[in-house]
Amino acid sequence: MINTRILEQRLGWRGNGQESGDDQPESRPIRHESVLQGRVRHAPGRGRGGPRRADIEATWAALPAIAPSTDDMAGDRRRGLAPFDRNGAAAAALDQLRTQLLRVTRENGWRRVGVTAPARGGGCSFVAAGLAASVARLNYIRVLLMDMDLSEPGLARLLRIESGTPISDLLVGAAPVETWMMRVGDNLALGLGGEPVAGAADLVQNPDMILGLRAAIDALSPDLVIHDLPPLLTDPSAQALLPQLDAVLLVADGTRTQARDIIECERCLEGQVPLLGVILNKSEDTGNADRRLSRN
């Protein structure tokens, strides 16, 4: 289950008026404000630029179509895709998150959103895929979901889709977009990684890779790009990718993420990219999770 409330509110250790002690994590003031929780200042919209409209339409049409819609994928018994199931336990929370996300990105002219977590295993890929599917159900919005966890790509496995072309081939310009990406319906594109990429932390800082990533996005010119990122605190390539993003969503594992992990992630993001908010995942998996988190 996904809870889209800010984690610090659930933990109860910030802004509660209590004196600091052993039960409260040490911290220093963080300038981040979770912009999903309130109004943000209007910013000029971003122009699409890039290829001409006819080229964009042709590129979308050229992508291999693997299903007519996310509902068809969710209903396929061979797949049983929980992230795409609009009747699943997380669907309502993801739809609520979609509403907040689209409002903020439109007001700020943002397009590239990263989804990350402090460590592996917290459900980051699930949230990224589920959010992309939720947005894609609005058929007037085109969304691109990209697996940017180069060292341990997991979206293809989660969605039970075979992806043969290494993502590194696309990012360095060795493969055209249509040979690596695929399409669900008319408005959801998937950029899935196959095998892990050696030296991922070095690759993501390569200027050719950065240009390749931007060219792939410009070729499709989607309204929203959701990047499934590696964990922020344990994979150096995550921080290297921050300059390519407009904003970040942080996924916390309700069974094991500690408050100090969230603080450390905030420090990593400060001055780099806005933090949209913290998503509490697996919040129902254990009755002791909140108490353990609030003590550490």
Say if CB 167 and CB 180 are below 8 A apart.
yes
User: What is residue 86's predicted lDDT score, i.e. its pLDDT?
Assistant: 78
Q: What fold is seen in the domain 2-11+32-37+50-295?
A: Rossmann fold (3.40.50)
Provide, for the chain, the percentages of residues in helix, strand and coil under a 3-state DSSP scheme, each rounded to the nearest 5. 40, 15, 45
Per-residue confidence in pLDDT tens, the chain, 296 aa? 555 444 444 444 343 444 444 444 444 444 444 555 433 333 333 344 445 889 999 999 999 998 877 777 766 544 446 677 777 777 888 999 999 999 999 999 999 999 999 999 888 999 999 999 999 999 999 999 999 999 999 898 888 888 766 677 777 766 778 878 899 999 999 998 878 888 888 888 888 888 888 988 999 999 999 999 999 999 999 999 999 999 999 999 988 899 999 999 999 999 999 999 999 887 655 444 333 333 33
Query: Tell me, what's the pLDDT at 274?
Result: 96
Residue 228 CB partners (closer than 8 Å, separation 6+): 115, 124, 125, 128, 129, 145, 146, 147, 148, 149, 154, 155
pLDDT of residue 218: 93
Q: Measured between alpha carbons, how far is 296 from 288 in angstroms, rounded to an integer?
A: 13
Contact predicate 247/43, CB 8 Å? no
| pTM score, whole prediction | 0.80
Q: How many CB atoms lie within 10 A of CB 27?
A: 16
Q: Which long-range contacts (CB under 8 A, 24 or more apart) does 161-166 make?
A: 161/66, 161/190, 161/192, 163/192, 163/193, 163/194, 164/194, 165/194, 166/193, 166/194, 166/195, 166/197
> What residue type is 8 in one-letter code?
E
Q: Count Cβ atoms within 10 A of the Cβ of residue 131 and give its class: 0-12 exposed, 13-18 middle, 19 or more buried.
A: buried
Where are the domains positioned within the chain? 2-11+32-37+50-295
Query: How is residue 197 written in tokens?
Result: 């990429």
Contact between 290 and 258 under an 8 Å Cβ cutoff? The reply is: no
Q: Are strands 181-184 and 188-191 parallel, antiparallel or unpaired?
A: antiparallel
What pLDDT shows up at residue 38? Answer: 35
Q: How many DSSP H helices and E strands does the chain contain?
A: 13, 9
DSSP code string of 107-139: HHT--EEEEE-SSTTSSHHHHHHHHHHHHHTST
| First-residue to last-residue Cα distance in the chain | 22
Q: What is the pLDDT, as a whole number, of residue 241?
A: 95
Q: 229 is written with which tokens?
A: 């990122």
- CA dihedral over 235, 144, 104, 139, signed as positive or negative: negative
Q: So what's the pLDDT on residue 69?
A: 79
| Measured distance CA(266)–CA(77) in Å, rounded | 40
